[in-house]
Amino acid sequence: MNASFILKAGREKSLRRHHPWIFSGALERIEGTPESGDTVAVRSADGKTLALAAWSPASQIRARVWSFDPQACIDAEFFRSRVTQAVALRKALPAAQHSNALRLVHAESDGLPGVVVDRYADVLVAQFLSAGAERWREPILDALVEATGCEAIYERSDAEVRALEGLAPRTGFARGDRAAARCAIVEHGIHFRVDVEQGQKTGFFLDQRENRQRVRALAAGRDVLDCFCYTGGFALAALTGGARRVLALESSAAALAIARENLSANAFAAERIEFQQANVFEHLRGLRDRGAAFNLVVLDPPKFAPTAAHARNAARAYKDINLLAFKLLARGGLLASFSCSGGIPMDLFQSIVAGAALDAGAEAKIIERLGAAPDHPVALNFPEGDYLKGLLLLRD
């Protein structure tokens, strides 16, 4: 490491709080000629070394911190240690006793910016989403094999954020090779098939695991509407919990095909559930116009606001979908409403949902605040990691 990232005077405050991102506007100059992903020493204007970080010349996040210890050695052993710690944390979680599908590495919150790894039974799915992650890809893959014993690692480095890092998308087996279009997993006794090759994110929404359990516990005897159902996670949880009937809506035909496979993989009364391909917004308007009513509604829409810059347009979409949900929610019914948009903080999300209830003429109260499962930890110094937020509401 021969390069240094020199900060402008007064721009070290976030680093002293151990926030791992350094934006381009904080850069006074770069000393040396680092290549993309190389480790640089981050120095204050007075020359003090504050951190060691990965250089990313194409990104607005110009460097991502590996360590705040100036004496650390960023080498293969460093990544082996970080991966081992992350995997050990998941093995100790209660969820490991109830599912063979867990998030093993959660990027910045595990001290590995740009690295995301999910486990689906004996297959790992890895994403390398930053210049630094790309630079250390091979040692990280080696460490994952060693820490988990899994020989098959499928790479899904196809997220749009890679383009912001100046990186081309890449998918395919990074280690091993096996059929991975339908990984069979079990979550709290429910069987699912996960398409790690073509599915959204890494194939399944592991962050909603505990929230699916919450819906399962509340579903008995209720008429349930599951919006944006993807491959049927909430819908099947509600069915397992004793829902009287479930209507599950999803726009993707491919996702619904897997949802129906998931239904067949379990001993469910299929007549109590209907999967329907539809534009969710349009279909809910039709249900409203027909006077339909449900006792439990789940809203888990896609990411409307990936960044704060998209918040205004996203707020409109979140308000519209929640307004329609309140129109369809019977008195005494429950609404589980979620946002996975990092650009929408919880206070704004609550305000949006409150406005939707007001416009729908519904009185409601918050019963619980919901978030991501514990295998998606949030580092105290990185609040941006707290992307999934949810409200469980009771309509009076």
Which fold does the domain 4-67 belong to in CATH?
A: 2.30.130
Number of neighbouring beta carbons within 10 Å of residue 149:
8
C-alpha closest to that of 300 among 364, 354, 372: 372
- For domain 205-395, the CATH architecture is 3-Layer(aba) Sandwich (3.40)
pLDDT of 383 higher than 80:
yes
Residue 157 has pLDDT above 70, yes or no: yes
> Among residues of the chain, what percentage have pLDDT more than 90?
93
Which tokens hold the place of 392? 């469980």
Residue 310 confidence (pLDDT): 72
Ranges in the chain annotated CATH 3.40.50.150? 205-395
Residues of the chain with CATH 2.30.130.10: 4-67
At 308, the pLDDT band (50, 70, 90 cuts) reads low
- Regarding beta strands 183-187 and 190-194, do their DSSP bridges make them parallel or antiparallel, or are they unpaired? antiparallel
Residues 6+ apart with CB under 8 A from 367: 334, 392, 393, 394
Residue written as token pair 């998931």: 262
Per-residue pLDDT, 307:
65
Active site residue 340: yes
Residues 6+ apart with CB under 8 A from 149: none
Comparing 177 with 392, the larger pLDDT belongs to: 392
Fold of domain 76-180: Transcription Regulator spoIIAA (3.30.750)
Which part of the chain has CATH 3.30.750.80? 76-180
Tens digit of each residue's pLDDT (9 = 90 or more) over 353-374: 999 999 999 999 999 999 999 9
DSSP state of 99: B
